[in-house]
Structure 1
Amino acid sequence: MAFAFQQNSGQRLFLVAHPAIFWHYDSYRKGQVRCTYEIIPENTPCKIYFDLEYDIRVNTPRVPVKIVNSFIVIVSNYLFHYFNLRVDKSNVLILDSSTDVKFSCHLIYQCKEAIFRDNINVGRFVRQVCAGIREVISDPRVIDVNPELWRGVTHAEICELLVCGRKDGEKLFCDESVYSKNRHFRLYRSTKLGKNAPLLLSDFNVYTPVEDTSQEKLFLDSLITCIGEVPAIPLQFGCQKEVCFRGETANRKISTISEVSVSHCVLEKFVTELISPCGRIRKRTVTSTPKGQRIQFDIQDYRFCAKVGRHHRSNNIYIVLDGSRGTWYQKCHDPDCIGFQSVERQLPPEVSFIIEKEDPDLEREDVSLWECSSVSDEIFVEFGTFGDYGGVSDKGTTLGDCEKGDVPEFGIGDNDLLFAATKC
């Protein structure tokens, strides 16, 4: 499995190790410096997981255990409705890292049958659940359309899932943005950098591991992609967006800017000027239409959104060039901005000329340039393979030589990994 360490500088080091070995060393690290994450790789079967949070200061009437229980009931109803799976709170591991100002918890479903094909499919399922909740909040009559989805909860209890943000208005307390490719998801007993709020077992958790109740077992159960035997047919939900618009994802490749054509450089130069001086292009996705190309540029280090009139704190934006209309506009990945599109602006002639016609260099291509906060399994550098406790890597660290409480000098930094990407 792949893990990430966050250092005091903010840089992340990456490690591939057996989860039991990882726990053996990570559990001896001091709590305030244990900023570690599981990397949820693209196209990897995984459990259902949720990140729930809200600001306590502006949501004082909320009772955490009550709204979490209501949410679990709704999710369980959806699982039964779509997949004929019966689960309840006893199947859900609840971890909590709440503070005096912020409620924050993770839900990880412990059901062997509820394994999804990947976290993209989990994200589609979660967004379906959240969309249904929003509909019921806005119109209680929706409950009568499909009452089995809302069995066990009242309209008043559903409305409590809508919380107030200090700056963003009302939103659901379920974070819908944690289902991206190669997502970093915080580990059990780990804290965010600069904070002393580790993820611990919640006071209202009722899940108990079978037979073994050790801390290591809880850690292993909390891992999203540590699932043992994968079902013959993992669950899928919704349309495979990659298949519908870009062909098979297996053909996706990693490229550097030096590999692209002159046409690409003209387009990237235009987008780079829009997001200068800090922004960078992370990925380019191209789809064809009868009248031209539609190109989506996912942006990194620049998050200004026209809807909110400021930079988003965490979610990125993307720029779309529409060859059929000769325009460009901005959209973003923030759940609160779903469906928003900025005002369309005219493309310069040298740019619109390129994408108004079919360009064979651009057709059906999805190029990931590099995202420092994510790791692609295609560009990992092999530093050695790890066996059982005290095993020896072929090229890397001898784990048996490390003192108890010391973390081996393994891993690869952002800069080294970026260099590795350019060599693939």
Structure 2
Amino acid sequence: MAAIGQTGTPAMFMGPQRPTGVSCPAHAAKVYTTFVWQRDAIAFADRCNRAAAGLPEEEPCAAETSMRPPGNPAADLACHAEPAVTGETQPGTGVGVFYRSSDAETQEPPGSRRLDEIVKVFCQERGGERGYHRQFVAASHAALWARCNALPPQDRHYYEVIKEGSPCHLYFDLEYATACNADVDGDALVEKLLCMVSQRLKQEWGFDMQPDWVVELDSSSATKFSRHLTIRIPGHAFPNNHAIGCLVSQLLASSEAMQLMVRKGGADEAAHTFTSFVDSAVYTKNRHFRIIWNSKGGKTATLVPTERFATAPGHGMSRQQLFLESLICNVPPTARLLHVDGSNTTLTGSRAAGTAHPLRTCLPVSPGRAGSSVKVVRLCDEGEQAPEGLSLQRVQAWAEAAKGFVEQMARQRAGGQPATARTIAHCGLAGTVAYSMIGPGSHYCENIGRCHQSNHVYYVVNFVEGAYAQKCHDPDCSSFRSAWMPLPAELRLT
């Protein structure tokens, strides 16, 4: 089978519980337990996986320190159906983090094997008198597969939770409105993206991307083109979805990414407003990604194989194998992890830890280009020093220019619900800006995986470091800060 895009031309191919005091069942592969809160489901799954690996309950489940001892009970669990990819690395002693292809086959890590996570975390939308709500599930792949098959197709509303820090396969969420993009060929657009991905994988790690690495799923409707891609590199994965977000940002910052632009918005602005059809907001902490053959709650469009690439006619996979292949976090503990330049960047100064800092209000700043509907104030962190040559006016201009990007990210995270920046508060000397949001989409919080009833979120942007994150005004989430995500190159102060 020919590799993708080697010539530079797009190739054509055919019961709620809390974990405290709850013991993990001996046969973790049969686990299916529901929770009201996402954090409880994650904690329960972690405890199950440690127990299955024979680790003490109080021992931290760190990827770089965990080791499954010989004869651990997880190896004998008959329902453990992963991995389902041919060509995966055979069980061995080490898992490496690699920078270039020259190192990828030789470098071994200083640490030991990662924990084999049999119990994963999922999200389910359930209907009720007041509409749909989300509950969280700690389950094995086998148990979830059985539960999905037991439900009528119209009642399948499951999402995979891409847990913070978990290794995962490369994935994309692709979409655009069809009404203002009648001339766009969606299949060709996907192939252009895959060509770019193929070139980057070859350049960075020496991989020749194959069509059967790509699982393409479609959930398009009469009004929207919608595809999900999962790209499985045999024997390899990425350390977390933050690293993938950095890789995607680098791809979208290239000149070739102009080929991926589509019109956005209503008919009145379709002729002059453009955006990438790649959703860059799906690489955040504990992101929910819909599972194959499932629909959104209250919707009819189901995520189904396109019969291209890995699902082309004659692929020979069973439905259960395809289910496993499409999961983003179905990564064996022996997979070698690929480093992405810039993914380990951390902020410096008082923002580095991501905790709340006392702010004091200084002089008011005129709204300027932000418009009369946005209040712009100047805030300074106590003790924070100014990088040399960085003026308040320069940061203010950058903050106002980035307002549209922040609002777009907020809307995407909230499933398309409107979200608008109400205030822009910044410390002009330090290059850090906070956008307080308002609107239906301003309540969605990554910490709880759903909308707050009344409290709003806000976004913190550091233009010097080129990163942004979400925080929350809810008292229960006051210490929470999402993972830092990279800003587009044109919004960075350099």
- Relative to 1, partners in 2 of residues 1:88 and 1:288: Cα closer, same or farther, differing over 3 Å? farther
Post-superposition Cα deviations, 1:242-289, rounded to whole Å, max 9, x if no partner, equal 3656799xx889xxxxxx89x57x89xxxxxxxxxxxxxxxxxx8973
- Pairing partner for 1:40 from 162, 171, 182: 162
In the alignment, does 2:148 pair up with 1:26? Answer: yes
In the alignment, does 2:385 pair up with 1:290? Answer: yes
Measure the CA separation in 2 of the matches of 1:246 and 1:225: 33
Give 1:6's aligned residue: 125
Give 1:352's aligned residue: none
Give 2:440's aligned residue: none
More helix by share: 1
Tell me the secondary structure at the aligned position of residue 7 of structure 1.
strand
Measure the CA separation in 1 of the matches of 2:313 and 2:350: 41
Residue type at the aligned position of 2:329: T
Tell me by how many angstroms 1:54 deviates: 1.1
Post-superposition Cα deviations, 1:332-357, rounded to whole Å, max 9, x if no partner, equal 99xxxxxxxxxxxxxxxxxxxxxxxx
Tell me the secondary structure at the aligned position of residue 217 of structure 2.
strand
Give 1:107's aligned residue: 229
Give 1:400's aligned residue: none
Give 1:343's aligned residue: none
Measure the CA separation in 2 of the matches of 1:247 and 1:199: 40
Tell me by how many angstroms 1:205 deviates: 3.7
In the alignment, does 2:418 pair up with 1:314? Answer: no
TM-score normalised by structure 2 residue count: 0.50
Post-superposition Cα deviations, 1:72-131, rounded to whole Å, max 9, x if no partner, equal 111111111112121132210101111122111111012134411100000000111111
Measure the CA separation in 2 of the matches of 1:308 and 1:117: 26
Matches within 5 A, 1:62-211: 62-132=184-254, 135-136=255-256, 159=259, 161-167=260-266, 169-207=273-311
Residue type at the aligned position of 1:373: R
Measure the CA separation in 1 of the matches of 2:173 and 2:121: 20
Tell me the secondary structure at the aligned position of residue 262 of structure 2.
strand
Tell me by how many angstroms 1:310 deviates: 8.1
Tell me the secondary structure at the aligned position of residue 143 of structure 2.
helix
Measure the CA separation in 2 of the matches of 1:235 and 1:195: 38
Tell me by how many angstroms 1:228 deviates: 1.5
Measure the CA separation in 1 of the matches of 2:403 and 2:176: 24
Tell me the secondary structure at the aligned position of residue 412 of structure 2.
coil
Tell me the secondary structure at the aligned position of residue 123 of structure 2.
strand
- Relative to 1, partners in 2 of residues 1:204 and 1:313: Cα closer, same or farther, differing over 3 Å? same
Matches within 5 A, 1:386-401: none
- Relative to 1, partners in 2 of residues 1:20 and 1:131: Cα closer, same or farther, differing over 3 Å? same
Aligned residues of 1:97 and 1:197 also touching (Cα < 8 A): yes
- Relative to 1, partners in 2 of residues 1:80 and 1:121: Cα closer, same or farther, differing over 3 Å? same
- Relative to 1, partners in 2 of residues 1:420 and 1:16: Cα closer, same or farther, differing over 3 Å? farther
Tell me by how many angstroms 1:371 deviates: 3.5
- Relative to 1, partners in 2 of residues 1:211 and 1:18: Cα closer, same or farther, differing over 3 Å? farther
Measure the CA separation in 1 of the matches of 2:340 and 2:313: 26
Measure the CA separation in 2 of the matches of 1:322 and 1:219: 46
Measure the CA separation in 2 of the matches of 1:325 and 1:3: 42
Give 1:60's aligned residue: 182
Aligned residues of 1:51 and 1:178 also touching (Cα < 8 A): yes
Residue type at the aligned position of 2:342: G
Tell me by how many angstroms 1:236 deviates: 2.9
Post-superposition Cα deviations, 1:271-329, rounded to whole Å, max 9, x if no partner, equal xxxxxxxxxxxxxxx8973259xxxxxxxxxxxx9549988643467876544649995
Residue type at the aligned position of 1:290: Q
Post-superposition Cα deviations, 1:385-405, rounded to whole Å, max 9, x if no partner, equal xxxxxxxxxxxxxxxxxxxxx
Aligned residues of 2:132 and 2:298 also touching (Cα < 8 A): no
Measure the CA separation in 2 of the matches of 1:289 and 1:326: 7
Aligned residues of 1:291 and 1:323 also touching (Cα < 8 A): no
Aligned residues of 1:113 and 1:231 also touching (Cα < 8 A): yes
Post-superposition Cα deviations, 1:27-85, rounded to whole Å, max 9, x if no partner, equal 22122221110000111110000011111222122222222112111111111111212
Give 1:371's aligned residue: 448
- Relative to 1, partners in 2 of residues 1:323 and 1:74: Cα closer, same or farther, differing over 3 Å? closer
Residue type at the aligned position of 1:89: P
CA RMSD of aligned residues (A): 4.3
Residue type at the aligned position of 1:371: I
Aligned residues of 1:45 and 1:118 also touching (Cα < 8 A): yes
Identity of aligned residues (%): 24
Give 1:222's aligned residue: 326
Measure the CA separation in 1 of the matches of 2:274 and 2:312: 34
Tell me the secondary structure at the aligned position of residue 132 of structure 2.
coil
Give 1:360's aligned residue: none
**Higher RCO by CA contacts (8 Å cutoff, separation 6 or greater):** 1
Aligned residues of 1:91 and 1:207 also touching (Cα < 8 A): no
Tell me the secondary structure at the aligned position of residue 236 of structure 1.
coil
Post-superposition Cα deviations, 1:136-165, rounded to whole Å, max 9, x if no partner, equal 466xxxxxxxxxxxxxxxxxxxx3x21111
Aligned residues of 1:317 and 1:330 also touching (Cα < 8 A): no
Give 1:148's aligned residue: none
Aligned residues of 1:122 and 1:237 also touching (Cα < 8 A): no
Post-superposition Cα deviations, 1:192-238, rounded to whole Å, max 9, x if no partner, equal 12111110111334447999611111111111001123434443332
Measure the CA separation in 1 of the matches of 2:344 and 2:407: 32
Residue type at the aligned position of 1:4: C
Measure the CA separation in 2 of the matches of 1:246 and 1:15: 37
